[in-house]
Amino acid sequence: MEHRASSILFFFFLALFLVFFSSPSSVSAFNITKILEKQSDFSNFNNLLSQTKLADEINRRSTITILAVDNGGVGGLSGQSSDMAKKILSVHVVLDYYDQDKLKKMFKSNKSATLTTLFQSTGLARGEQGFIKISEKNGQISFGSAAKGGNGNSVNFVKSVVSQPYNISVLQVGSIINVPDIESSSSGPASAPKSAKAPSPSKSKKNDSDDEAPSPSNDESSSEKAPPPSKHKGKDKENDKSSPPVSADSPSESTAPTPSAPAPSAASRTREIMAVGAGVVIMGLVSLLAA
């Protein structure tokens, strides 16, 4: 009996352990906010990540590189709206792991490369706004927008701030990366429906009142006052002509490439495995109680 009670307690606490450590917060690979809290030179950059909720998106990733800007170089975002600041900052988040050693090895065989950023995954990027180019010249590594017109607007790599292979790397760059015409991304696929304006109800009522049947008490006068059928047909044709572009424009605007669903992260896979393990343990506990 004593052995049975100890077995039950063992399985009970093991189940609690697995359930606790399968929670999202406990298996998160990193927390960018806490990482940058230890770096006082990047407090402004860290605050912007939190204010724009970009930190939450970063923490959901399992492999990522942050191109951080210190307090002196983050002034390029002053006066920007929260939405625009988030777009610009998301260009500084590379969807892969790059530390200083990896960059050096990469440039032994290549002088440049194109990297995908978090901005590309939003579906708001136009052209190559969601990509950055990394290049090396005379030993100096630099980053710049891959979008048309982005040449010559590169920023220099300064130093490696934090690295946790192969989850997260924080690299310091000299200033904010300038992305040409990033303001136009706000009128991308998300705002396409706004371009189609439906006719105002007041105009429709006015047209309906014009088309109302004349009073039976004054047939002759009403027939003279009534507009000829051709005018009504013209109006109908105009209305018909105005409606097709509404449905035709929206598909053309929405044809912008949408991001593919990201692959399951290591954290989500771990949660699934541990949840299954917890289920097995609970089933074992139930079988012991039933015995």
CATH number of the structural domain spanning residue 73: 2.30.180.10
Residue 22 has pLDDT above 80, yes or no: no
Percentage above 70 pLDDT, the chain: 54
Is 8 part of a structural domain of the chain? no
Q: What does the angle CA 274 – CA 277 – CA 281 come to, to the nearest 5 degrees? A: 140
Give all strands (DSSP E) within the chain, no chain letters: 64-68, 93-94, 112-116, 131-137, 140-145, 155-164, 168-173
- 10/15 Cα distance (integer angstroms): 9
Q: In terms of domains, do 176 and 41 share one?
A: yes
Q: What one-letter code names the amino acid at 266?
A: A
- Domain ranges, residue 193: 189-209+219-253
Is 2 part of a structural domain of the chain? no
Whole-prediction pTM: 0.60
Is 25 part of a structural domain of the chain? no
Q: In terms of domains, do 199 and 168 share one?
A: no
Domain count, the chain: 2
Q: pLDDT digit string (tens) for 127-177?
A: 999 999 999 988 899 999 999 987 668 999 999 999 999 999 999 999 999
Residue 37, sorted as left (phi over 0), alpha (psi -120 to 50) or beta, turns out to be alpha
Q: In terms of domains, do 112 and 244 share one?
A: no
Task: Average the pLDDT over 211-222 and give the result.
Answer: 43
Q: In terms of domains, do 47 and 168 share one?
A: yes
pLDDT value of residue 150: 73
